[in-house]
Each structure stands twice: as C-alpha cells, then as structure tokens.
Amino acid sequence: MARGLAEGRLRLRRAALALALAAGLGAGAAPAARRPPVADPVTIDASAPINTFTPEAALGAALDGMGAGDVERVLTPFNIERMRQAGLKRVSYRLRPELGIEAWHWTSEGTWSDPVRRQGYWTGSDDPGHASRVTWGYSLPRRGDTIDNANNEGYSRLDDGDASSFWKSNPYLDRRFTGLAASRPQWIVLSFPKLTRFDAARIRWGQPFARHFLIQYWDGDDGFEEGKQTADDPGRWTTFPNGDVRVTGAPDAAPMRLADHPIASHFIRILMLQSSQSGPPASTDIRDRLGYAVREVGAGVIEPDGRFRDAVRHGRSRFTQTFAQVSSTDPWHRAIDRDLETEQPGLDFVFSSGLTSGGPMMVPVGVWYDTPEDAAAEARYIVRRGWPVSQIELGEEPDGQFIRPEDYADLYLEAARAIRAVDPELRLGGPSMQGPLTGLWPDTGDGAGWARRFVAELKARGGLGELQFFSFERYAFERVCAPAGPLLREQSRRLDRALDRLADEGVPTSIPWVITEYGFSPFAGAAMSQVPSALLAADIVGGFLSHGGSAAYMFGYTPDTPANQKFRCAGYGNMMLWEADDGGRARWPMPLFFAERMMSGDWGAPGEAPHRLYTARSTLADPQGRPYVTAYPLQAPDGRWSVMLVNRDGARAHAVPIALEGGGRRQPLAGGLRVVQYSPAQYAWRERGEASRPSRDLPPVRYELASGRALVLPPMSLTVASEIGAAPGAPSRLR
C-alpha cells in the first residue's frame, strides 16, 4: 500500500530526459514520432467468453485513511464532484489502523471493558442514532513490533528500556476463544544486522508468563535485509542446547546460559508454548490472564567475569532499538492512545457524501487488532442504518505483518461467527493480502505460501464457507526507476503467474476474487504521475478480469500532491486521480483519471447490464516474449464490440488491424470504429520536486475511423476502439 511522507528531492539533468520519461522512453531511445508504425494484428477469439461482468460493479476506487484534518480539508463537495467524474461507482474502504498496529474506533461512541479508567477492550456503539464524520485509530500500548506498515512511528515495548511497559500477545488466540484443543504458540523474533554471537538470554516476564518456552537461533543463510528473511531462504530454527526452558514457580529475570560456547546468528526467537494464565491481582477480565506478556528481553553472551553482555539495543524508537517482531498483539488500549496524526472518514460521512454514487461499498471490520465483539457491533450498526454494503472485508494485510496464517484463520472465524449472529446474509471475505504471493518468514515450515496455509486452516476447521470472496492488493513495482516499457510488459506476466499460483494454492475459484486496491508501487515516484500509470491501470484491470476476477479498485481516489518516498532516482509523483493545489483542491487531472474514465465510460457502457469479455492475441513481442500490445475485447449486451488496447512499446507506434475468429471463420471487425486515445501527445509531466505539475494536460483525443482504415496505437498509449453505434462520448471527427 503506497503511504508515507516525501523524503528528499531529485531533479532530472536535462529537460529532454524528463520528456522522454513522460513518454515512457528509456534514456537514449529514438524519438517515437520519427519511426513508422509496425504492423501488429490483433485477433479476438470470439468462440466463447472468458468472463461476464457488469462494468459498474467491476471497476471501483479505494478510499484510504488520511492525515490529521484531511477529511475536512480534502473531502469537500468540490473535490468529491471531481472524483466522481472518473465514473467509478463502487468504493473499497481501506483500514489504515490495521496497518499501524491500532484499534479502529469506527464510531466515536462506545464502551470500554474498564469504563472507570477509560481503557481495556473497546466495543463501538451500534445505536443508529450515532453518526461520525471522522473516526480514528488508537495505538496499542502493548505493542511488540518495532515497525508497522502505516506511519511507522511506533516502537516495540520488548526492548524500549522501560520495565513498566510490556508486550502482550492476543488473548483471542487462546483455546477458550478459538475452540481448539490447545492454544496457539506465540513468538518473539529479534533481528541483528551483523552476525552476532549468543550463549545467553534474559527475559523480564510480565503477567501472564510462559511456563514452557524455547529459545532458538536461525541456522541457515546469513542473508539479511532490513531485518527480514523470506520463506525461500534455506535454514531452520534450532533450539539452543539449553534453550528448552520450563518454569515451575515464579519466573526468574536472571540471565540464562543457553550454550557452553557462543553460537553466531542474525536472528533469535523465543517460542512460547504454555501460559501461566496468571494476571494482575485486581483483574476480573479473563483476557488479562490469557497469552503471554514480556516487559523486556535481552540476548548476548556471558563474559568470563560472569557479567551478561546484552547485544540487544534498548530504546524508544525504531532507530534506537533492536528490530523486534511478534506473533500477535493484545488489542487492549486506552482513551489516551488515540493517533492524532491520522484519521479515517466516518462510514456515515462516506455513505452520505455521494462518494459511492448511491451504490454499495465494501466495508472492513478490524480483526487482528480489534475484537470479535466490536466486529459484531459494527455489523449491527450497518444493518440498522440500512446501508448498501456489497461485502464485509475482515482485516487488512495480515500477511504483510508476519502473522501466521493459522492464527489469522482463528481470528477470522471468530469475527465471522460474531457477524453471522447479527446477519447471516452478509457476505464476508478477505484477507486483503498485501500481495498475492507472500512468504511465511519468520514462521517457516513446509514452504507452502501464506494463502495456501490460510485456506487449508479454514477448511480443516470447517470454516471455508465463511470465505465468500478472496481479496488481495496489487502494487506492480517495488523499484520504479527502470524504463517503463519493460516494467509494464513484465507486470502482465507476473500478474498471470500470481493468479495461477493462488489457484494452485487452493484459493477457491468458485468465489469472487477482488483486488481491493491496486497501483503502480508502494513507493511514490514520478512514474505514478506519467502516462505509464494509465497503461498499468488498464492492464491490471483487463488482465485480472481476463483471469476471472470479479472487481478491481484503484488506489489514489482522493486528490494528492507529489512525493518521493524511497528511491531518489524515481523523482516526484503520486497515485492520484487529481493533483491538488496548495489549498487541497483538485486542480490537475492525472493520467489515472483519464484511464479510469475511459474504462468506465468508453470500454464498458454505463449501466447494470452484463458484458462479456473475450481473449485476444497480438503478433509482436519483445526478446523476452512479452507482447508489446495487449487487447481486451468486451462485447456489450447488444452484441457490439469495444476493445481496450495498450501499447507498452515506448519506441514505436503499432498499426493494429482487428479481426474476429471463431467457428472456423475469420473476419475483420466490421464497420467503422469510434476511437478514444490517450498518449504523451495529450500529457507531459514537469519534474520540479514537490512542485511538480503537468506541463501538458489534455483529455484523450476522440475520432471516428472509417471501415478499412488502420488503427494506429501511438507509443506508450491507451486506446479504446468501439464499433460505431455504441453509446457516444464527446464529439468525434471522421478520419
């Protein structure tokens, strides 16, 4: 998910290079206009459709959390009207608090499990008389992870140097809530960039503590990148010779000798197997006694003089403490823990603002950092308000937070059961995977992917029926500095492979698959504000629907400003339909805006009638076998064809005769064509750091092409060609 603040600036060395990048050309590419088009026929296989969908239901936008004050500043009537011009009538509401290790208060009214102290476990009010324009996340004070996937401003309580704070695991993973024969093991992992020697550890336990635990080291590949390994790295967790520890009385905070001789590793894991189930003396809440709590942890060596030398850095920020990861976190929090830097638009506001154009919305409930009771309350509130909700998505990106898929399956089923008791007709799904092919580090095992193990656990527990749709996110590029053409051509191949892999991993193909948000990259850069972003959107939507996908929601619905997050070479840009001026008003339409408008209004006819999607093939490919041109033929209910074509060739135009093939016959697409075309001729991006703006910002060109004339696709362009007689757009001219 692309989030964060800009860091640093990059100015391109020459204006010519800036123009080349805007056109999707690599440095040194010949000017496209001087090269004649190459013939690249496209053949539509009209024998049988590969998918049937309603464009209004298949195309949507993702609405994300925002910075402090941005709901009022950005979601104004003026901006909402501009956003709606893209023609997207479905919204996927994204849950930023789940990314930031926060509990989401979806309404400002509710109750605490400890109301006197205004703390504990929160349950929102299901009274339909309550309305919230803005809602917030609440940081979890029992946090164990050093980093998160949102603003990343928190820190772990395991090595913060404060013995009064502590990490605690999620009590809802105890067998009293899961219904399993045994509670789920929990773990702590400490990561060390330099190979470090260990023969001792020290744990200052809280309540409850572990009566049986293992202290282990990673025995395998020495590779280390940002504190993470992947499931593909060879190795295993190995228990230290004296690392199998059982505690019969009160826990001891003295250093434990783990081995006679130090063992070198990058990673230390504490695997907790049996809880003391002891809690604070005055507590009457069973959740206080379930799981594990640790106040401070250390690992290192015992010196010859008997002193313990701790290799763990202790501090109250991600920059001053050793990188820590945990298996789960207790959703307990306090009223004072509200995150003042971010906010969510209230569900009431979204439904009443017109953002959904009166259509249904995909609504989330918190799972990993919330409670089943709160999920049920939110469902009751939705039902009582009578809102049109298409689907309820359980959680957000659990795979991206190193969560064991089996643990997530437990909480998923607990939330599902709670919601089912409210309304058995609500359609539930998830898990909104960060990406379709997430590995399993640090919970390595048989090498199976995250999705395979999640689905397998649901099935083993008889809960696969609660997965009524499968959702994931799609951000195409981690690195955004390479030439756009090869990147675009490769992403189509990668998306196909990812979807095939998910099916192979057992994700049911009989249920809808949804991309709940898609975009160029998790890291902002200039390419997001250039023509290739329009082409990518078309290829993701067309490719996903061609694989049988149900719906895809673009990220960047709200007006935004240019940023640079990670790669200086990427320049400044952002995923956005509109670039905002200094006052937050939508001012400059972006390539993504025109792409979405072409898909919703030209490729697919407005309305609720189903359209049939077919396959098509072109003839020319690059040396790696990747087609330069992709084509997505759509047949409207009245039988007329509309073909979306993407030319990912940054150097050449392609002349594209379109033919129909089926039933042993082949014939050209009959009659004239109404053409809508968007390319660098309409748009260019001027790189000026945070002040970057479009230097040319024209709408797509529209014209009619007489029968028998060649359809020419400019370099790095998006085209929709429809049989004349389809619903007209803007006035056209005949060529």
Residues 432-444 pLDDT 10s: 999 887 878 887 7
Token representation of residue 31:
């000017």
pLDDT for res 439 = 79
Cβ contact 109:163 at 8 Å: no
Q: Cβ distance 430 to 421 under 8 Å?
A: no
Residue type, 332: W
Spans of the chain, pLDDT less than 70: 1-34, 221-233, 445-447, 670, 725-735
Domain boundary assignment for the chain: 55-132+342-611, 167-330
CA–CA separation, 526 vs 579, rounded Å? 13
Q: What is the dihedral of CA 463, 464, 468, 470, to 10 degrees?
A: 120
**Of 666, 733, 667, residue with least CA distance to 704:** 733
* Residue 678 · residue 700 · CB < 8 Å: yes
pLDDT at 565: 81
Buried b (16+ CB within 10 A) or exposed e, 45-63: ebeebebebebbbbbbbbb
395 near 368, Cβ under 8 Å? yes
Q: At the topology level of CATH, where does 167-330 sit?
A: Jelly Rolls (2.60.120)
> How much is the pLDDT for 8?
30
pLDDT value for 6: 30
pLDDT of residue 570: 87
User: Alpha-carbon torsion 381, 383, 384, 386, what sign?
Assistant: positive
* Rounded distance between C-alpha atoms, residue 171 and residue 279, angstroms: 12
User: Phi-psi bin for 335: left (phi > 0), alpha (psi -120 to 50), beta?
Assistant: alpha
Count Cβ neighbours within 10 Å for each residue of 650-670 and write b for 16 or more, e otherwise: bbbbbebebebeeeeeeeebe
pLDDT at 435: 83
Whole-angstrom Cα distance, residue 64 to residue 521?
Answer: 16
pLDDT at 445: 65
- pTM, two decimal places: 0.91
> What's the per-residue H, E or C state across 520-551?
CCCCCCHHHHCHHHHHHHHHHHHHHHHCCCCE
Cβ(477)–Cβ(491) under 8 Å? yes
Quote the Cα angle for 43-630-712, to 5°: 75
Burial 356-386 (b: 16+ CB within 10 A, else e): beebbbbbbbbbbbbbbbbbbbbbbbbbebe
Architecture of the domain spanning 55-132+342-611: Alpha-Beta Barrel (3.20)
- Partners of 51 in beta bridges: 613
- On whether the CB atoms of residues 3 and 519 are closer than 8 A, the answer is no
Please report the pLDDT score of residue 18 as a whole number.
31
